Amino acid sequence: MYSVLFLAPLAAHAIEISIPTNLSSRALLHDAYGYSIEPVWVDDYLKSDLATNLLSAIADITGKPPPIRVGGNTADQTYLRPDQNQTSIAYPTPSTATTFNITPAWYDTWASYFPEGTDLLYTLNLRDNTSAWANAVAEAEAVHEALGDKLKLLELGNEIDHFVNKGWRAPGWDVAQYIDQWHNLTGQVIASEWYQKAANPPKFQAAVFADPPWVPDQHDDTDDFDVVNLTAAGLVDSDIIDAYAMHLYPQSTCDTERWYRMRLDLLSNHTTLWLNVSQYVPQVAAADAAGIPFVLGETNSISCSGRSGISDTFGAALWGVDYVLMAASIGIEKVYFHLGAQSEYSSFTPIPYTYKGENLTAGIRAGFYGHYFLAKAIAGDLDYSIAALPGVNSSDLSGYGIFGEAGLQKLVFLDMGVWNSSSGLHNPSTLTATDSTFRSNGTRPSSGLRVHTPWEEGAEVKVTRLSAPGTNAKSSVDVSGVSFDSAGAKVGEEKLERVEVGAEGVLAFELQRAQAVLLEVAKS
């Protein structure tokens, strides 16, 4: 059932927005928003149905489950130990692991956990080349034996441009050496009997570089690792390479310099986001020239596991929506948000645990609602493309047009302005930490928007809103009245708003400070 609300006319002084007819657009995939799970934390996610319930809720809307990458730092610390008596052991603990030993049966434990139709990606251990990558070759066979056709991609190592800093490669490690080792290991995998017999063997996601190329203090080493150099050096075989991947974390707790620059208002800021994402325009261009997609294969708000008060807030949820849409608009086809069962940036945590002196429950954080809202934007039977709207491009306001073969299908607008509330600040699944004690005063502002669309006068437009008490909220987040309980079940009745297209295609509506709205012509 739906509660139907018809929006009132706007007050004067509305923001006028035009949609140019010559916008350049890029593909918007139905599975553009994915997840990356740190290998040592997979076991904890399997201990409850929360993750699979939430991923199924997304699939019910989009028709396609989010892609899942099992990879991260501990991928290069993973070793097959067929004779050990447990399927997996992290030494010394999952949160401090330097070694992760598994048996082939470990892959079986998660082979059927994710919703039907989930595309799975697995990262092999490239670090260990002591026996010509015998461990990685064995991993590839074992993971395919368990996952079969669900395994779509293999990666070779994680953030290989950090290998020198970690002591895993000698100084001088560069693109040329990486390509030689990449050919060696992929050659062994491809020549394997299982690979040759497989009807649909996995392809490879190449690169897997960490560092944004224009941010010097996010570099552990001075190197030449980027997709521009990689493709120029000849790693462009689209028969076996299905994507190039790089990573992005806009803020960090990993070192003192970046720690002091962490701020929620800088995360939930469209201009700052553009400064981060636009770094990848040359990478996308190089991938395009090779005829191979480019993805952000691991990302989240703050590296080294996030920071409560920023990563777990509604501001981070708005950032996630803006991020995925912006990335798609410049040609980044997928964005994989990293998860750890005890990470402060995780959108959902599967089991209770004690962390930093607080007893936390399993549950859902604000970021997941950004994904749920975005699922409605990318849902449908059409092949979509997306373009950023040039007239809606400021630090606190962004907008996107989503197009199908017949033209404009949907519109998304985000008010990224900060509104700090005194409610919605507690969520039992996350820490009580806050980024700021500042609270906004007075009445929460709203903006009137008048969008000049090609839609017919009198057409009814469905309005979906991503809302919360404020940018700093950790709870009381919803998508048009719908939320989820701690087990991943939907709660609440959808409040469906409709607004009528006015004369000359003008669509008028209100947008609250720190809110997102999706508009689409209602189906008859």
Please write the tens of the pLDDT for every residue from 88-122. 999 999 999 999 999 999 999 999 999 999 999 99
Q: pLDDT tens per residue, the chain (524 residues)?
A: 344 444 444 444 689 999 998 899 999 999 999 999 999 999 999 999 999 999 999 999 999 999 999 999 999 999 999 999 999 999 999 999 999 999 999 999 999 999 999 999 999 999 999 899 999 999 999 999 999 999 999 999 999 999 998 999 999 999 999 999 999 999 999 999 999 999 999 999 999 999 765 555 455 556 789 999 999 999 999 999 999 999 999 998 888 888 878 899 999 999 999 999 999 999 999 999 999 999 999 999 998 999 999 999 999 999 999 999 999 999 999 999 999 999 999 999 999 999 999 999 999 999 999 999 999 999 999 999 999 999 999 999 999 999 999 999 999 999 999 999 999 999 999 999 999 899 999 999 999 999 999 999 999 999 999 999 999 999 999 999 999 999 999 999 999 899 999 999 999 999 999 999 999 998 76
ω into residue 92 within 30 of 0, thus cis?
yes
> SS3 of 43, please?
helix
In whole angstroms, give the CA distance from residue 475 to residue 491.
14
Helix ranges (H only) for 330-387 are 366-378
pLDDT tens, residue by residue, 174-209: 999 999 999 999 999 999 999 999 999 999 999 999
471 near 420, Cβ under 8 Å?
yes
pLDDT on residue 6: 44
* Closest among 72, 96, 398, 378 to 249, alpha carbons compared: 72
pLDDT on residue 300: 97
Size of the chain, expressed as the number of residues it contains: 524
In whole angstroms, give the CA distance from residue 151 to residue 258.
36
400 near 386, Cβ under 8 Å?
yes
In whole angstroms, give the CA distance from residue 131 to residue 420.
55
Residue 455, amino acid:
W
- ∠ CA 108-113-118, rounded to 5°: 105
Question: Where along the chain do its domains lie?
Answer: 15-21+385-521, 30-38+67-366
272 near 395, Cβ under 8 Å?
yes
Quickly tell me which residue has 């940018």 as its tokens.
471
What is the token pair recorded at 4?
A: 């139907």
In whole angstroms, give the CA distance from residue 268 to residue 264.
6
307 near 262, Cβ under 8 Å?
yes
Task: Tell me the Cα Rg of the chain.
Answer: 23
Quickly tell me which residue has 């693109």 as its tokens.
175
In whole angstroms, give the CA distance from residue 454 to residue 104.
56
Tell which CATH classification among 2.60.40.1180, 1.20.150.20, 2.40.50.140, 3.40.50.300 matches the domain 15-21+385-521: 2.60.40.1180
In whole angstroms, give the CA distance from residue 168 to residue 163.
5
Burial letters 412-421, b for 16+ CB under 10 A, else e: bbbbbbbbbb
In whole angstroms, give the CA distance from residue 2 to residue 4.
6
Pairing of strands 506-512, 251-252: unpaired
> SS3 of 276, please?
helix
Q: Which residues contact 518 (CB under 8 A, 6 or more apart)?
A: 373, 376, 377, 410, 411, 412, 463, 464, 465
Q: Which residues contact 96 (CB under 8 A, 6 or more apart)?
A: none
Pairing of strands 203-209, 490-491: unpaired
What is the token pair recorded at 387?
A: 């373009």
352 near 358, Cβ under 8 Å?
no
Pairing of strands 294-299, 241-248: parallel
Read off the DSSP letter of residue 5.
E
CATH class of 30-38+67-366: alpha beta
